[in-house]
Structure 1
Amino acid sequence: MAKVSATEGLTPKHIDFGSESGDKDDESSQGVRLKKELSLMNGVAIIVGVIVGSGIFVSPSLALKYAGSKGMALIVWVLSGFLSMVGALCYAELGTMIPKSGGDYAYIGEAFGPLPSFLYLWVALFILVPTGNAITALTFAQNILKPLWPACTPPEDAVTLIAAVITCLLTVINCYNVKWVTRVQDTFTAAKILAFLVTFAASLWYLFSGHTENLESMMQGTITQPGELAIAFYTGLFSYSGWNYLNFVTEELKEPYKNLPRAICISMPVVTLVYALTNVAFFAVLTNDEIHASEAVAVTFSEKILGVVAWIMPLFVAMCTFGSLNGAIYASSRLFFVGARNGHLPLAISLIDIRRLTPVPSLVFMCLVTLVVLMTNNLESLIVYVTAVEALFTLCSVAGLLWMRYKRPELTRPIKVNLLLPIAFLIICTFLVVFSCIRCPQEVGIGVAFILLGVPVYCVFIKWQDKPSWLQTACNSFNVACSKLFICLPENSKEL
């Protein structure tokens, strides 16, 4: 068994993954490191599995609320998918130009330096990732408990407890074996696609039975105010969030230059088609009032059309959210692992389990933060809050792509998207952020304030080099204690 000396300091490793030709040498090295185990289909399963989660079951009523009509809501869903596809293609260029794990964190750091990249890590650590995971876990718990309370809402304490249990269970699976993670992801991705096909088939049966009244006058009541439409797009974009998660694990993807863009080009059209067909199914069966009044559109849909087998829809939703949460935990833990490896988080978070070669401390830390966030329950505000903050940093990443086209033209770009794509993406996202500030200034303002709060944190804990010796000793003792507790070592360390 490996031993770690308490007298030895642990130091972060700065690894350059700038060339694919070094992959074989990296994998054959004897140091402790994450392994390349993700195939193309695993990558597709991660993207589809992470995206298709709680959003499609939470957002339809909110999108309809702000779009005003079913026709405009459907347009919002399709355009949100198209915008996400454009963003994903831009990230394909970034991911093959900078083949490092960490996604936006790595790209913003390469383009604009350590402070902006730290601010992204800061917000992702305490807002983006734990909030998204908490929403998905709560949606899973609500739907898995729904058959036990068919006539009312499941007790809040029971929902929170189940959400916490499933978060911890999936964290344990992620800690134990990456192959287990990919098997779970592949299985549940296939299951959720089947679930959506059943939903659409049921709606077709309903339509062919002569019930077409809910699809008549689909544009009636359309809202055209920019602020309202911006929030409608936010609810749609929230459901597509996760399209950049494969970029978080680029270092574990086999042949990333080929498989990253292929996975994006396969998965995004699939998700957009699935979402469009699912919304058509909901809109065909349910009236506007029924959708507005429902907190769980899929459950209302099943109760109206599936009769005695209505219980199957909560089960489908639970499967979707289970797979989504599994993929999100896997991918986002690598973000914090990379941030800690670069010295922007405690070094303990960048340690790797010497037996299973998984970033156990990062996974455990993220699980703890998610458990704290599970107490939050204002879903509509959370969606606006999270999506607005995420949009700001997505803008930074795509702006970084344009900046590096100008400042660093010598970089190898296996994929080079048409310049109009990132420019159009920047313009559209800028308008969405500006109009959402007008419509929901409080939620966006809180997000911006939290971003700015990261500046003094960076100055004190990262920029300040001459820290008191007692603080440095305490930090090192904490790192060594975590190394012993989890039997982990820094990346590329030799087993003793």
Structure 2
Amino acid sequence: MSEQKEHFKPTLGLFDATMIVAGGMIGSGIFIVSADITRNVGSAGWLVLVWLITGFMTITAAVSYGELSAMFPKAGGQYVYLKEAYNKLIAFLFGWSFFSVIQTATIAAVGVAFSKFTAYLIPSVGESNIIADLGFIKISAAQLLAIAMIVLLTWSNTRGVKGGKIIQTTFTMTKLISLFGLIIFGFLLTKQSFWTENWSTGFNAMQVAKDAAGAFDPGNWSPISGGVLIGAVAAAMVGSIFSSDSWNNVTFIAGEIKNPKRNIGLSLFFGTSIVTIIYITANLMYLHVLPLHSAANPTQSIAFAENDRVAVTAANVIFGNAGTYVIAIMIMISTFGCNNGLILAGARVYYTMAKDGLFFKKVGELNKNAVPEYALWIQCAVASLLCLSGKYGDLLTMVSFIVVIFYILTIIGIFILRKKMPDAERPYKAFGYPVLPAVYIILALLFCCGLVWASPTYSLWGLGITLLGIPLYYIAVGSSKKED
């Protein structure tokens, strides 16, 4: 057996932590989800407002987490905050949801996105190349490539946090520069601007209708307002929230960050702010380069871009035929770096759960490189199985619903801990407390209610998976007591 290290090594500085925040947030979403948002709300004003609301919620939550990260600078992050504010059961429900759906399904989805866009350059690794047909499941080359990528990054992270840091910093810087470049070239090189035409829609919310076969009808839009509008905005925000998620990954690796009481809070603010600016300006660029929706040529519009690949359609306008390859390479870089951050951070939650006797004992051990190797490999196994399931696309609503529920509970935890631990050291306090955290909670609750109204099936499935953790918690507690 390899020599065990008792503690994590604090080797990550503020810049490294900021790259983990930004790198974990930027995957493939910004290149794709604006199509679905436009189909739900139908106007330039509402498209941008959805991203602005999401950005405000993300930054508000991030700076609120700064207080918690300074109070509890330990590996496990959000899991630890929930345990301190509530109890082990609530923390376990988060950890269970994180393991079964949130982190592992996100790793799988990002891995398959990497494969899909690699297929632009190497067609043989596409989804149409079926490697094995087992009757109940078909395994494609794209799925195998996604698994290979996840295994490679998992192995790399078992070698120590320094290797993961280098990969994260390199790939995050590359995709930030690439995205800024795409936005600038979009405004400078496009010959025909749709800016005025698109903004003529203002804030007149509309929703596209479907034909008898259930397909979108580009020429049939209906105005929406009231409760229907709230539901449509919630449905639209599934994509923007999913694209802006994983900013909290840096809190999970607090044990490996230098001066975590200062650097985690700052990295959360800097990382979420940078990504929010990129996301909003990218959508402004889309509004300049492409029409919102066009009945005459729908696949050249934001709402009906082929396979929702808005960035590919925009890049083809900007760069010509080479645009497809430009975006393919950008998304490959983006998703590779994103998954490295997700894999690196996620395992620390399971490690902390194991230390509390709520997960497999081996998961709570560090290898000779001072990283939780068993936690990394068990995460890898579940994510790989989800790659094979082919159902990760259906998990988008479920993941967003669960994620926001736990964000709400965590931010309520700030109010609880102010009363529960009034004299605790707080090197950093939540910005705008109590107003901004309260505003976040209200907006997030409206989002969750709207999502249940618009997509009850997957929202309630998400809640069901979370609640399944209750009997599992008591089984885990019982097993832990027997071992003691």
Query: Using a 3 Å threshold, how does the CA distance of structure 1 residues 221 and 380 change in structure 2: closer, same or farther?
Result: farther
Aligned counterpart, 2:221: none
Task: Pick one of 343, 346, 353 that aligns with 1:339.
Answer: 353
Cα RMSD for the two superposed structures: 2.2
Q: Which amino acid aligns with 1:107?
A: Y
- Higher mean C-alpha deviation, range 208-217 or range 393-402: 208-217
Contact 2:174 2:333 in 1 (8 A): yes
CA deviation digits over 1:3-24, x for unaligned, max 9? 79xxxxxxxxxxxxxxxxxxxx
Task: Pick one of 419, 424, 440 that aligns with 1:411.
Answer: 424
CA deviation digits over 1:204-229, x for unaligned, max 9? 12446555465342435444411111
Q: Which runs of 5+ in 2 are unaligned?
A: 131-139, 207-223
| Secondary structure of 1:102 counterpart | coil
Deviation at 1:434, TM superposition (A): 1.3
Distance 1:112 1:265 in 2: 25
Distance 2:194 2:460 in 1: 45
Distance 1:457 1:208 in 2: 59
Q: Does 1:39 align with 2:43?
A: no
Aligned counterpart, 1:389: 402
Task: Pick one of 296, 317, 322 that aligns with 1:304.
Answer: 317
Aligned counterpart, 2:302: 291
Distance 1:302 1:147 in 2: 16
- Within 5 A, what are the aligned runs for 1:365-380? 365-378=378-391
Distance 1:317 1:214 in 2: 29
Q: Which amino acid aligns with 1:315?
A: I
Q: Aligned pairs, how many?
A: 441
CA deviation digits over 1:395-429, x for unaligned, max 9? 11111111111122121111112211211111111
Q: Does 1:231 align with 2:235?
A: yes
Distance 1:336 1:52 in 2: 23
Distance 2:146 2:392 in 1: 15
Contact 1:43 1:253 in 2 (8 A): yes
Deviation at 1:121, TM superposition (A): 0.7
Distance 2:475 2:161 in 1: 36
TM-score when normalising by structure 2: 0.86
Aligned counterpart, 2:187: 204
Query: Using a 3 Å threshold, how does the CA distance of structure 1 residues 196 and 465 change in structure 2: closer, same or farther?
Result: closer
Identity of aligned residues (%): 26
Contact 1:146 1:153 in 2 (8 A): no
Query: Using a 3 Å threshold, how does the CA distance of structure 1 residues 402 and 463 change in structure 2: closer, same or farther?
Result: farther
| Secondary structure of 2:66 counterpart | helix
Distance 1:264 1:344 in 2: 28
Aligned counterpart, 1:425: 440
Contact 2:357 2:480 in 1 (8 A): no
Q: Which amino acid aligns with 2:302?
A: I
Task: Pick one of 244, 253, 259 that aligns with 1:240.
Answer: 244
Task: Pick one of 89, 92, 112 that aligns with 1:118.
Answer: 92
Deviation at 1:57, TM superposition (A): 2.0
Distance 2:480 2:111 in 1: 40
Contact 1:191 1:319 in 2 (8 A): yes
Query: Using a 3 Å threshold, how does the CA distance of structure 1 residues 153 and 213 change in structure 2: closer, same or farther?
Result: farther
Contact 2:102 2:403 in 1 (8 A): yes
Q: Which amino acid aligns with 2:155?
A: V
CA deviation digits over 1:281-310, x for unaligned, max 9? 222222323333332222222233312422
Distance 1:387 1:85 in 2: 17
CA deviation digits over 1:183-234, x for unaligned, max 9? 1111111110121122112211244655546534243544441111112122
Contact 1:214 1:286 in 2 (8 A): no
CA deviation digits over 1:427-456, x for unaligned, max 9? 111111112111111111111111111111
Task: Pick one of 425, 435, 442 that aligns with 2:450.
Answer: 435
Aligned counterpart, 1:176: 159
Aligned counterpart, 2:220: none
Query: Using a 3 Å threshold, how does the CA distance of structure 1 residues 83 and 465 change in structure 2: closer, same or farther?
Result: closer
Q: Which amino acid aligns with 2:268?
A: I
Task: Pick one of 372, 397, 416 that aligns with 1:359.
Answer: 372
| Secondary structure of 2:358 counterpart | coil
Contact 1:137 1:163 in 2 (8 A): yes
Distance 2:178 2:379 in 1: 30
Query: Using a 3 Å threshold, how does the CA distance of structure 1 residues 221 and 430 change in structure 2: closer, same or farther?
Result: closer
Task: Pick one of 256, 261, 266 that aligns with 1:262.
Answer: 266
Distance 2:315 2:390 in 1: 24
Contact 2:73 2:260 in 1 (8 A): yes
Distance 1:195 1:430 in 2: 35
